[in-house]
């Protein structure tokens, strides 16, 4: 019985190692960001999105509100995407989340990010190929994280205020009590 359990545990460890090697991103090191935008989509971090007539609330909350642009198909860097959401914590613009699908769109978005914020080449730890790819650019005010799952061709882009985005965690903890 014990020998069988050890054999099973050994198989799980081998499988886990294969999954890590083939499908999981390596520890991603952040590329130092050039041209930190101190915001996104032409808005500065901390702006009040409720004051903008071109935005509508999609998910209201007591501290965190999610917005989208009215009457505008979602896009990023001129690339059509599935969704673009703008998040505010305590009425301060703090994050953009972008979801997209397709390898061509991924390549276009990745090219744009490298042109705007810095090349990924020569950075140890960045995952350039594989089932899961992860990239990070970090500036003084902004952090950009891109994750792409090649097997489903789904991409997720997070553009965060480095000072305001941590408040999301504080608000989640406050509301979980």
pLDDT at 138 over 80: yes
* pLDDT (average), residues 129-134: 80
The confidence score (pLDDT) of residue 128 equals 54
CB 115 within 8 Å of CB 102: no
Cα 4 from Cα 11, distance rounded (Å) = 11
pLDDT at 11 over 60: no
| Bridging pattern class, strands 31-32 and 132-138 | parallel
Query: Any idea which residue has 């590329």 for tokens?
Result: 31
CA 126 → CA 106, 147, 163, distances in Å?
16, 11, 24
Tens digit of each residue's pLDDT (9 = 90 or more) over 61-114 = 999 999 999 988 999 999 999 999 999 999 999 999 999 999 999 999 999 999
pTM: 0.78
pLDDT at 5 over 70: no
Question: Is 7 in a helix, a strand, or coil?
Answer: helix
Domain parsing of the chain, residue ranges: 27-175
CATH fold for domain 27-175? Protein Transport Mog1p; Chain A (3.40.1000)
For residue 155, with 0-12 CB atoms within 10 Å meaning exposed, 13-18 middle and 19 or more buried, which class applies?
Answer: buried
pLDDT at 122 over 60: no
Tens digit of each residue's pLDDT (9 = 90 or more) over 21-63 = 334 444 457 889 999 999 998 899 999 999 999 999 999 999 9
């Amino acid at each position: 019985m014990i020998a069988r359990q050890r054999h099973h545990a050994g198989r799980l460890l081998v499988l886990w190692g294969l999954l890590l090697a083939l499908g999981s991103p390596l520890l991603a090191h952040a590329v130092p960001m050039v041209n930190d935008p101190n915001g996104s989509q032409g808005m500065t971090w901390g702006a009040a999105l409720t004051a903008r007539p071109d935005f509508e609330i999609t998910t209201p909350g007591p501290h965190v509100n999610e917005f989208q642009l009215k009457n505008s198909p979602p896009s990023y860097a001129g690339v059509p995407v599935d969704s673009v959401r703008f998040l505010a914590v305590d009425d301060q613009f703090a994050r953009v989340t972008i979801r997209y699908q397709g390898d061509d769109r991924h390549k276009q978005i990745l090219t744009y990010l490298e042109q705007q914020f810095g090349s990924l080449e020569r950075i140890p730890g960045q995952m350039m190929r594989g089932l899961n790819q992860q990239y990070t650019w970090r500036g003084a005010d902004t952090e950009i994280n891109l994750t792409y799952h090649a097997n489903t061709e789904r991409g997720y882009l997070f553009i965060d205020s480095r000072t305001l985005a941590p408040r999301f965690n504080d608000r989640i903890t406050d509301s979980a009590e």
